[in-house]
Amino acid sequence: MSAQNPKSTVLDVRSLRTTFHTDRGPLTAVDGVSFQVHRGEILGLVGESGCGKSVTSMSIMRLYDEKYTASISGEVLLEGRNILHIPYRQMQRERGKSMAMIFQDALSSLNPVLRISEQIMEPLRIHRHMGREEARQEAIRMLGLVGIPSPQERIDCYPHELSGGQRQRVMIAIALSCQPKLLIADEPTTALDVTIQAQILDLILELNEKMDMGVILITHDLAVVAQVCHRVAVMYLGQIVEEADVEDLFDHPSHPYTRGLLQSIPHLDGGHRGELHQIEGTVPLLHQIPEGCRFAPRCPLATDRCRQGTVPLQDLGGGHMVRCLCPQEGGL
């Protein structure tokens, strides 16, 4: 699912920059992020905690209060239309209709005092203009599609009456009910046990193929990326440091940071699920962004040259991009 793929571009993010207004002054959490997602493609967004994955997705969905919380600049083209500056009401219509997001914690994303039926029928009635009965039937169909057992009964449950895995499936059903062009799944399985995790990932994969959506899958887990993603973008401290087709990234990781992340999963096929903890040091705070390459203070290969100026993304060929002055060659 690469540069050779003729499929149309669903999302084209250009130079996205998100700056929070904080007591300490402005903090730029996403700094010049650009990537594309095509129809039927799953892009994995990975990186350690705090590197800006959620801020990127929240910014694309424009879920921040743009007056008081954060300023967002750049371009977010959804099927060619820049949605970054459209009026708020129009943006609300886009959300749920053309683009949807699944969060990590389904319980806090679902409304605890409304039955599942209300929560899944509402977008169907608003965005797909269905009558009550038609929306109910479609809601039951969607719940069945995401693997909720006895959906005609469970549709009248409250969120707390369902298991964690079922709630996550309900979230997915709500997100997909309006057949969005773009789905952003931010750590959709982290809170679930391993078996349910695998089922939910299979479901996202299956629905992605069936509905031909573009998907951004945010995860800490590189084994998940290897399993379901077509392309991968690796983020570090608010920037993309490497992006490539999934096989290319796993076979030829070029950025020392990516190599560090991959070294934390020594047995991809042996079922070991990696934690991203093998790179020395921690991600610096946003008000302590280092000069030059942002990864240099933790990089075993850094030289003085890396600690000055800005390091651009360079194209290694075949859509493999890396932000490093001395990209590595070969496998691990």
Neighbours of 47 (CB within 10 A): 27
Instruction: Please name which of 326, 319, 310 lies closest in space to residue 31, comparing C-alpha atoms.
Output: 310
Q: Which residues pair with 72 in a beta bridge?
A: 18
Q: What are phi and psi of 288, to 5 degrees?
A: -130, 40
Which CB sits closer to ligand ATP, 40 or 188?
Answer: 188
**Minimal distance, residue 191 CB to ligand ATP, in Å:** 12
Tell whether residue 217 is a contact of ligand ATP (CB under 6 A).
Answer: no
Instruction: Please name which of 204, 210, 248, 243 lies closest in space to residue 56, comparing C-alpha atoms.
Output: 243
- Give 172-220 as a DSSP string: HHHHHTT--SEEEEESTTTTS-HHHHHHHHHHHHHHHHHHT-EEEEE-S
Tell whether residue 184 is a contact of ligand ATP (CB under 6 A).
Answer: no
Which CB sits closer to ligand ATP, 20 or 158?
Answer: 20
Site for Mg ion in 24-83 (CB under 5 A): 53-54
Tell whether residue 225 is a contact of ligand ATP (CB under 6 A).
Answer: no
Instruction: Please name which of 166, 117, 123 lies closest in space to residue 137, comparing C-alpha atoms.
Output: 117
Which CB sits closer to ligand ATP, 116 or 265?
Answer: 265
Element (H, E) at 319: none
**Minimal distance, residue 32 CB to ligand ATP, in Å:** 15
**Minimal distance, residue 273 CB to ligand ATP, in Å:** 16
Which CB sits closer to ligand ATP, 51 or 101?
Answer: 51
Which CB sits closer to ligand ATP, 63 or 126?
Answer: 63
Q: Which range touches ligand ATP (CB under 6 A), out of 49-57, 89-97, 116-124, 258-266?
A: 49-57
Judged by beta carbon distances under 5 to 8 A according to partner kind, the member of ligand ATP, Mg ion, none in contact with residue 121 is none
Is residue 76 within 8 Å of 199, Cβ to Cβ?
no
Q: Which range touches ligand ATP (CB under 6 A), out of 52-60, 141-149, 164-172, 191-199?
A: 52-60
Site for ligand ATP in 68-127 (CB under 6 A): 69
Distances (CA, A) of 80 to 19, 75, 86, 213, 308: 24, 10, 13, 15, 36
**Minimal distance, residue 264 CB to Mg ion, in Å:** 18
Judged by beta carbon distances under 5 to 8 A according to partner kind, the member of Mg ion, ligand ATP, none in contact with residue 191 is none
Tell whether residue 49 is a contact of ligand ATP (CB under 6 A).
Answer: yes
Is residue 186 within 8 Å of 54, Cβ to Cβ?
yes
* Rounded distance between C-alpha atoms, residue 281 and residue 94, angstroms: 40
Q: Which range touches ligand ATP (CB under 6 A), out of 50-58, 138-146, 191-199, 311-319?
A: 50-58
Which CB sits closer to ligand ATP, 50 or 123?
Answer: 50
* Rounded distance between C-alpha atoms, residue 30 and residue 243, angstroms: 16
Distances (CA, A) of 309 to 29, 217, 289, 294: 19, 32, 13, 11
Q: In what order do the strands lie in the sheet with 81-82?
A: 25-38, 9-22, 70-78, 81-82
Judged by beta carbon distances under 5 to 8 A according to partner kind, the member of ligand ATP, Mg ion, none in contact with residue 57 is none
Q: Which residues bind ligand ATP (CB under 6 A)?
A: 20, 22, 27, 29, 47, 49-55, 69, 220, 286
Question: What residues line the site for Mg ion (CB under 5 A)?
Answer: 53-54
